[in-house]
Amino acid sequence: MKNTTLKKTSIAETILVVDDSQFRLESMKTTLNLPGWNVITADSGENVLTWLLTLPNISLIILHAQMQDKNRFELAKLIRQNYAIHVPILFISAVHSLDEYITRDFSVDISDYLIEPINKTILIQCIELYINFYHQRHQIKTINKQAIPKSFRCKHVTHRKKYSQNPATQGRGEGCKLSGELKDVSTFPVEIRLRPMCIGDQYFISILFRDLSSHKAYEDIISYQAMHDTLTGLPSRAVLYDRIHQGLIQAQKSSQQFAVIFIGIDRFKVICNSLGQGAGDQLIIAAANRIKSALGKTDTFVHYESDEFVLLASLTHINNISLLFDKLLKENKKTLIINEQELHISISIGVCIVNDDSCQPDELLKHANTTMNDVKSKGGGDFQFFSSELNQRIERRLALEMGMVFSLRNKEFVLYYQPKIDLKKNKIAGLEALVRWQHPEKGMIFPNEFISVAEETRFILPLGEWILRTASEQAIEWHRSGILNGRIAVNISGVQIASKEFMSTLKYQVEHKIIHPHLLELELTETSMLENPNKVGKFLGELKMMGFTLALDDFGTGYSGLSWLSELPCDTIKIDQSFVSKALLTEKHRIIINHSINMARQLGVNVVAEGVETRQEQDLLTSMGCELVQGYFYSKPLQAQKFEQVSNIINQRGNSFKSY
């Protein structure tokens, strides 16, 4: 027997057999005793009507023509017209009486005639065929009732069994198994389009099957990509937001805590710039794998963007969270080999613990992110929990950001000048311009607090331009009045170096004598140059061509070390305050300073020691051959007017410098 879809139905097909011979009824029941078929019998017209009234779902009626009942044609007519308009009726007759029945039955719409003796297989196939036909007819009826256009496409996804039970109601089947019709009976997704047709008084359904395997595979890729990050294979941000929402709902229901944790790779930009973008990607993947290996399977760990990851950890982890972080920090300190180079990295972790559902996901992520940035700004390689104190700092930062908008126009910035002393000549060798913000409400704000904000918002570009212009005007004035001989040094931010407009604006200002490069020195840090490795050589060359002198600021705190020095067109290095302040305490710092001074001298580069606060420090530096110094021991940064008052005194004090 054919393995048709019909046999797979879970609801039985009811077949009513009508015959007045109990023997024939019993033998028919035995023949049709098949899975999925429910055979009921009636031995009189009355019984037939009783069944039809009580069982509305009869799929097929078999009527024996040899019934003694002389009104069997009337019975068939009655069934067809009043009770089972579309139910197929099979007449079973003997050959000798066939003509009579056919003639008599034209008005009754008998579906088919089976001639005795009947072959069992043919009988069963015939029954299957008519039952299927019945369902299709029924479907056409439904479609017509709903007034759906002739071509339709249902969209919902169905189960194989459901599909088999009633194919016409299923537009698109997941894993439909279509045996018989298709040579390959493997499971695959199909789209089914049904088109009802009526030819004469015959109903047909054209069924179009479309193999959706490739379409489905494409859909799978798209949905995978939507849910995963292509670089690391970690879940995507969409998943993160969903999980935070779930966590918040859970927090509300069970007051269960969870933590939103931001993880970032320290100095990622600098590492990428020196090793290249491909190395950056490898680094992200390596860090992702390291972090992942330290986590539980249930934790949501997402690649957020660039070098940043977000981890959602549940309550159980919060108890052990410090242990987890120690593990993560340690794991990430291990040496990495990327592009055949050994790399030592560290990570920063910012944690925001969620106790209730009052926070929005964006807010939680922002808190965790700012906490992580705070860790980074303190040198990284650590973790920190979000706190209200930090929040206050952030609010202050935001207030600064807002306050910057009109600050320049309101003339709220002022330059202070700190002298650089030439110990050999006992004279002021130059000045460093240091900006301060005289905030109308908050009072004096120092650059360490607002420069980074100005860099982030790029406000440093107009501010930096104002600083250069003001320092230049001041230098001209003091040179004319003889107050100053040397140059005024101006600090230049990495954001300025990176900006396209900086150089063109500067060239314009130099050409139009708004800025006087031969009166200025530009101080650039090693870090800001490493942030712009591709353009820094050309950039510095152009500055030199214009007439500026260049100083490498905060020398010793960067990463490239002394090798840079020979490659950069620098006139001066400024040994960082952190070395000077420790020079008297540790041999190591003395060695570094000594080495730097010697090397700079050999290269013909000036050395300035920054942050000199005591005579002992000065004496030590002089003994090492450092001739240029700057620090509170000589003078704090001074306002222009104050400098004018004291410049003579500073110049005349010789070696007996005192702090101002």
Q: How many CB atoms lie within 10 A of CB 239?
A: 17
Handedness of CA 366, 367, 370, 376 (dihedral sign): negative
What are the structure tokens assigned to 412, written together?
């709220």
Q: Between residues 294 and 552, which has the closer beta carbon with respect to Ca ion?
A: 552
CB of 452 to ligand C2E, least distance (A): 9
The span of 109-117, 194-202, 254-262, 607-615 binding Ca ion (CB under 5 A) equals 607-615
The verdict on 467 binding ligand C2E (CB under 6 A) reads yes
Which does residue 556 touch among Ca ion, ligand C2E, none (CB within 5 to 8 A, set by kind)?
none
Contacts of 21 (CB under 8 A, 6+ apart): 43, 64, 66
Residues near Ca ion (CB under 5 A), total: 5
CA distance 234 to 263: 14
The span of 115-123, 235-243, 484-492, 558-566 binding Ca ion (CB under 5 A) equals 484-492
CA distance 250 to 613: 57
The verdict on 446 binding ligand C2E (CB under 6 A) reads yes
Q: Between residues 338 and 592, which has the closer beta carbon with respect to Ca ion?
A: 592
Cβ–Cβ < 8 Å for 637, 627: no
Please select the residue that binds ligand C2E; options are 304, 532, 631, 643, rule is CB under 6 A: 631
The verdict on 558 binding ligand C2E (CB under 6 A) reads no
User: What backbone torsions phi and psi does residue 646 show, to the nearest 5 degrees?
Assistant: -105, -5
Q: Between residues 204 and 632, which has the closer beta carbon with respect to ligand C2E?
A: 632
The span of 15-23, 241-249, 309-317, 429-437 binding ligand C2E (CB under 6 A) equals 429-437
CA distance 241 to 355: 17
Cβ–Cβ < 8 Å for 382, 332: no
Q: How many CB atoms lie within 10 A of CB 77?
A: 16
CA distance 258 to 248: 9
The verdict on 553 binding Ca ion (CB under 5 A) reads yes
CB of 491 to ligand C2E, least distance (A): 4
CA distance 47 to 39: 14
Cβ–Cβ < 8 Å for 417, 470: no
The verdict on 284 binding ligand C2E (CB under 6 A) reads no
Which does residue 563 touch among Ca ion, ligand C2E, none (CB within 5 to 8 A, set by kind)?
none
Cβ–Cβ < 8 Å for 425, 637: no
The span of 252-260, 431-439, 480-488, 537-545 binding ligand C2E (CB under 6 A) equals 431-439
Q: Between residues 218 and 446, which has the closer beta carbon with respect to ligand C2E?
A: 446
DSSP run (H or E) holding 19: none
Q: Between residues 446 and 508, which has the closer beta carbon with respect to ligand C2E?
A: 446
The span of 48-56, 65-73, 120-128, 444-452 binding ligand C2E (CB under 6 A) equals 444-452
Residues near ligand C2E (CB under 6 A), total: 20
Q: SS3 for 482?
A: coil
The verdict on 491 binding Ca ion (CB under 5 A) reads yes
Binding pattern to ligand C2E, positions 402-421, x when CB under 6 A?
----------------x---
User: What backbone torsions phi and psi does residue 233 show, to the nearest 5 degrees?
Assistant: 75, 5
The verdict on 632 binding ligand C2E (CB under 6 A) reads yes
What are the structure tokens assigned to 323, written together?
């242990």
CA distance 228 to 546: 51
Please select the residue that binds ligand C2E; options are 277, 448, 623, 656, rule is CB under 6 A: 448
Please select the residue that binds ligand C2E; options are 175, 276, 381, 447, rule is CB under 6 A: 447
Which does residue 170 touch among ligand C2E, Ca ion, none (CB within 5 to 8 A, set by kind)?
none
Q: Between residues 105 and 553, which has the closer beta carbon with respect to Ca ion?
A: 553
The span of 152-160, 306-314, 388-396, 443-451 binding ligand C2E (CB under 6 A) equals 443-451
The verdict on 493 binding ligand C2E (CB under 6 A) reads yes
640-659 binders of ligand C2E (CB under 6 A): none
The verdict on 430 binding ligand C2E (CB under 6 A) reads no
Q: Between residues 280 and 637, which has the closer beta carbon with respect to Ca ion?
A: 637
The span of 99-107, 207-215, 432-440, 563-571 binding ligand C2E (CB under 6 A) equals 432-440
Q: Between residues 422 and 553, which has the closer beta carbon with respect to Ca ion?
A: 553
CB of 230 to Ca ion, least distance (A): 42
The verdict on 491 binding ligand C2E (CB under 6 A) reads yes
Angle between helices 277-293 and 268-275 (to 10 degrees): 130
Alpha-helical regions (H) of 147-266: 160-165, 213-227, 237-254
Q: SS3 for 307?
A: coil
Cβ–Cβ < 8 Å for 490, 420: no
Please select the residue that binds ligand C2E; options are 60, 178, 272, 434, rule is CB under 6 A: 434
Q: SS3 for 651?
A: helix
Task: Give the angle subtended at the CA of 642 by the CAs of 637 and 646, to the nearest 5°.
Answer: 95
Please select the residue that binds ligand C2E; options are 191, 531, 553, 627, rule is CB under 6 A: 553
Q: Between residues 15 and 489, which has the closer beta carbon with respect to ligand C2E?
A: 489
Q: What DSSP line would sit under 313-372, residue for residue?
A: EEHHHHHTHHHHHHHHHHHHHS-EEETTEEE---EEEEEEEE-SS-S-HHHHHHHHHHHH
Please select the residue that binds ligand C2E; options are 235, 517, 558, 637, rule is CB under 6 A: 637
Residue 4's nearest CA partner among 45, 37, 52, 50 is 37
Q: SS3 for 448?
A: helix
CA distance 332 to 295: 13
CA distance 225 to 303: 13
What are the structure tokens assigned to 139, written together?
């479907």
The verdict on 186 binding ligand C2E (CB under 6 A) reads no
Task: Give the angle subtended at the CA of 489 by the CAs of 485 and 490, to the nearest 5°.
Answer: 145
The verdict on 523 binding Ca ion (CB under 5 A) reads yes
The verdict on 428 binding ligand C2E (CB under 6 A) reads no
The verdict on 554 binding Ca ion (CB under 5 A) reads yes
Binding site residues, Ca ion, CB under 5 A = 491, 523, 553-554, 610
The contact set with ligand C2E (CB under 6 A) reads 418, 433-435, 446-448, 451, 467, 491, 493, 553-554, 577, 611-613, 631-632, 637
